[in-house]
Structure 1
Amino acid sequence: MSGGVDSAVAAARAAEAGHDVTGIHLALSRNPASYRSGARGCCTIEDSNDARRAADVIGIPFYVWDLSERFHEDVVEDFMDEYAAGRTPNPCLRCNEKIKFAAVLDRALALGFDAVATGHYAQLRPGADGLIEMHRAVDHGKDQSYVLGVLDQHQLAHSLFPLGDTTKDVVRQEAAARGLLVADKPDSHDICFVADGDNAGWLREKLGDRAPNHGGAIVDDATGEELGRHTGTYGFTIGQRKGLRIGTPAADGKPRFVLDIEPVTGTVTVGPHERLAVSRLSAIKPRWCGTVPRRLEGTVQLRAHGGEHRAVVATGDGAVEIELLDPAYGIAPGQAAVIYDGSRVVGSATIASTSTGTS
């Protein structure tokens, strides 16, 4: 129970369905005093209190589990390492993979529970092959199957998503009818461990001497001309337009975008938007929800709130090759490519490189 409306209603529905439910809130900060106030994240002290009050209204036991050390190692450190290496990670996927459906699930099963239920918007269905399938939520605007694409069959078999067949408006109405004070609480957003939402500032403070460079050149893709200097590659991501602080305008007057990040030399390359187009992706560290496909004509989603791209996916030797039938723009190494067959989530992999060719 994060302290938001979704997990509160999910807990209430699970209890009403006859399950023996216990509410768990995760303490993920090693220094609780550093938690921000307000409803920007999902694990503040205020959120903990909101979750406890919701559990009281539902009439279920409630506990706080301290997973701060595991969270720091598996999510926060991974986030810093990836940015220091010039990649763009998604910490919410890593949290689901390593914390909510690994550390929490392992402890829950050891204590005799059968499953972990959350307020994520996704649907689980039995497949024709006897495996558990994960599908997009009914409310496509709130669908969270992208950040759940890291879950394997064992994890899916011990998961419940009570809200997958419901729209967000209905969830809020239901929360109000149940007397849950979080009915009108704003949705969480931003990265929960970045206090003010300033990712670049947070990385600059935390990385310090760990960064492979303390600055470098911002160069033009076409001419190689140095356009400016920066204080660390971790302040940039592929496709970024704002905050480049380049004094010289492009010859054609059009905006420039980050095209490439080289963390070893500290070089950030910028150029026109059309140079961001990619048609092939090579990905590593695949996670499959069920049977591993050899070749699949389906779709991929490349951002948590992005659209689907028609694609042909091929696998082999632990690698995933993705041919995009329509180009995508501003795709960065480190992002997750989540693979779909219709509404069914097939699995996910971490993008290692991109290219524009088809050969």
Structure 2
Amino acid sequence: MNETPRTAPGKRLRVLAAMSGGVDSAVAAARAAEAGHDVTGVHLALSANPQSFRTGARGCCTVEDSRDARRAADVIGIPFYVWDLAERFREDVVEDFVAEYAAGRTPNPCLRCNEKIKFAALLDKALALGFDAVCTGHYATVVERPDGGRELHRASDAAKDQSYVLGVLDERQLAHAMFPLGDTLTTKDEIRAEAERRGLAVARKPDSHDICFIADGDTQGFLARRLGTAEGDILDEDGNRLGTHSGAYGFTVGQRKGLRIGVPADDGKPRYVLDISPVRNTVTVGPADALDVHALTAIRPRWCGTPPTGPAAYTAQLRAHGDDVPVTAEPVGDELRVSFAEPVRGVAPGQAVVLYDGTRVVGSATIAATIRHVEEKPPVTV
């Protein structure tokens, strides 16, 4: 397999455009073709039993999406194929999602899909077939350094930036990644207007904001069907029983709604999920200030370039649409230790912490444990 990036400025590349059937990926493919590249469109069939039509803006990878992608490719004037990656997607994304919830963690399947499907399975197949790059409709920017290496940066429009879900990409993958929408200071309405000017029928198609393989948006119902029901206790911080649940997997740290406790707190204030124990099958709830996290330990770090060698100041993003927070972070063996300048809330094991140096994505890691009091020692990951 040729691993040498062939991405010199002005060079005509062979580009494989991943076309989901939505407006962003269609416009991205059109821009790549307009820039003079030799573009081929591909729709990834990720479901073994795709539905004929989506429900509103939920889900993706339906028969309808495949047809929309094909029609867009015809308008752009590029070849189009459908590749079946359903089994790989089931193993690497869906089963991982279920296993993480069963273990009391809160995963982000979009990061796993980018890591394992779009920029692993798809990219490897593309390179084997002689393509130079994979193009997607993500809002992020790849910058080439003077030495020829690649860096991942935030999109020009911070409101649409999606670099968080791409923080799992390493430098080799970035060398073959193309994000034509990332350096565009345009609103989503302007992207839709561009699609209309190009004659793309997906111009007014609703965006999908949900987990793509849970078309009805009912994550708890999906997990219940996969994991079954298992009644357990909802406890307060002192271990007092406040109520019951039908499955600890139906909760996430920081959750306020849907607790169904029935008994009000002594101070009358809302309570939040503080901890989930799949071993004891319990959910612990408490006041908002008990959610304050001062530090965390993360595992499986992935670096978008050369790994850091010591402690340094960065900003960190803890969820897809979260704010930047100042941190000090240091790789320690196979872990990443992160300390917050000010305590943050709603940090759940299983989520990703993505580090930034300005607009540059340094890398990401999966949160394994949190420290809620400054006097605590760093948690031990097992």
TM-score (normalizing by structure 2): 0.90
Aligned to 2:209: 189
Aligned to 2:183: 165
TM-superposed deviation, 1:34: 7.9
Aligned to 1:155: 173
Query: What one-letter code is carried by the residue in structure 1 that aligns with 2:212?
Result: C
SS in 2 for 1:112: coil
Spell out the pairing of 1:303-318 with structure 2 (5 A cutoff). 303-318=319-334
How many Å separate the matches in 2 of 1:164 and 1:198?
31
The reply on whether 1:87 has 2:105 as its aligned counterpart is yes
Aligned to 1:288: 303
> What are the Cα deviations for residues 311-351 of structure 1, in whole angstroms up to 9, with x where unaligned?
00101211100001121101100000000000000000000
> What are the Cα deviations for residues 29-53 of structure 1, in whole angstroms up to 9, with x where unaligned?
1112487444322312111111111
Q: Is the 8 A contact 2:46 2:84 kept in 1?
A: yes
> What are the Cα deviations for residues 125-158 of structure 1, in whole angstroms up to 9, with x where unaligned?
1125542011100111110000000000110000
Q: 1:337 to 1:193 in 2, by over 3 A?
A: same
Spell out the pairing of 1:12-161 with structure 2 (5 A cutoff). 12-33=30-51, 36-161=54-179
Aligned to 1:255: 270
Aligned to 1:199: 219
Q: Is the 8 A contact 1:323 1:358 kept in 2?
A: no
Q: Is the 8 A contact 1:37 1:46 kept in 2?
A: no
Q: Is the 8 A contact 1:41 1:191 kept in 2?
A: yes
Spell out the pairing of 1:220-259 with structure 2 (5 A cutoff). 220-221=236-237, 223-259=238-274
Q: Is the 8 A contact 1:39 1:47 kept in 2?
A: no
Question: Which runs of 5 or more structure 2 residues have no equivalent in the other structure?
Answer: 1-18, 376-382
Query: What one-letter code is carried by the residue in structure 2 that aligns with 1:189?
Result: H
Return 81-90 or 287-296, whichever deviates more: 287-296
How many Å separate the matches in 1 of 2:290 and 2:146?
43
TM-superposed deviation, 1:358: 3.6
Spell out the pairing of 1:314-329 with structure 2 (5 A cutoff). 314-329=330-345
SS in 1 for 2:160: coil
Q: 1:305 to 1:55 in 2, by over 3 A?
A: same
Aligned to 1:176: 196
How many Å separate the matches in 2 of 1:127 and 1:300?
23
The reply on whether 1:217 has 2:233 as its aligned counterpart is yes
Q: Is the 8 A contact 1:38 1:46 kept in 2?
A: no
Percent identity of the aligned residues?
69
Query: What one-letter code is carried by the residue in structure 1 that aligns with 2:345?
Result: Y
Aligned to 2:359: 343
How many Å separate the matches in 2 of 1:282 and 1:202?
29
How many Å separate the matches in 2 of 1:300 and 1:35?
38
SS in 2 for 1:275: helix
Query: What one-letter code is carried by the residue in structure 2 that aligns with 1:298?
Result: Y
Q: 1:358 to 1:129 in 2, by over 3 A?
A: farther
How many Å separate the matches in 2 of 1:20 and 1:124?
19
How many Å separate the matches in 2 of 1:254 and 1:154?
50
Aligned to 1:301: 317
How many Å separate the matches in 1 of 2:351 and 2:261?
26
How many Å separate the matches in 2 of 1:129 and 1:298?
24
How many Å separate the matches in 1 of 2:222 and 2:272?
22
> What are the Cα deviations for residues 282-329 of structure 1, in whole angstroms up to 9, with x where unaligned?
000000000101222010100001111100010121110000112110
Say what the alpha-carbon RMSD is for the aligned residues: 1.3
How many Å separate the matches in 2 of 1:188 and 1:33?
15
Query: What one-letter code is carried by the residue in structure 2 that aligns with 1:338?
Result: V
How many Å separate the matches in 1 of 2:224 and 2:265?
28
How many Å separate the matches in 1 of 2:63 and 2:219?
21
Aligned length: 354
Query: What one-letter code is carried by the residue in structure 1 that aligns with 2:93?
Result: V
Query: What one-letter code is carried by the residue in structure 2 that aligns with 1:225?
Result: N
Q: Is the 8 A contact 2:98 2:223 kept in 1?
A: yes
Q: Is the 8 A contact 2:318 2:353 kept in 1?
A: yes
Query: What one-letter code is carried by the residue in structure 1 that aligns with 2:252?
Result: T
TM-score (normalizing by structure 1): 0.96
TM-superposed deviation, 1:254: 0.6
SS in 1 for 2:249: helix
Return 31-40 or 149-158, whichever deviates more: 31-40
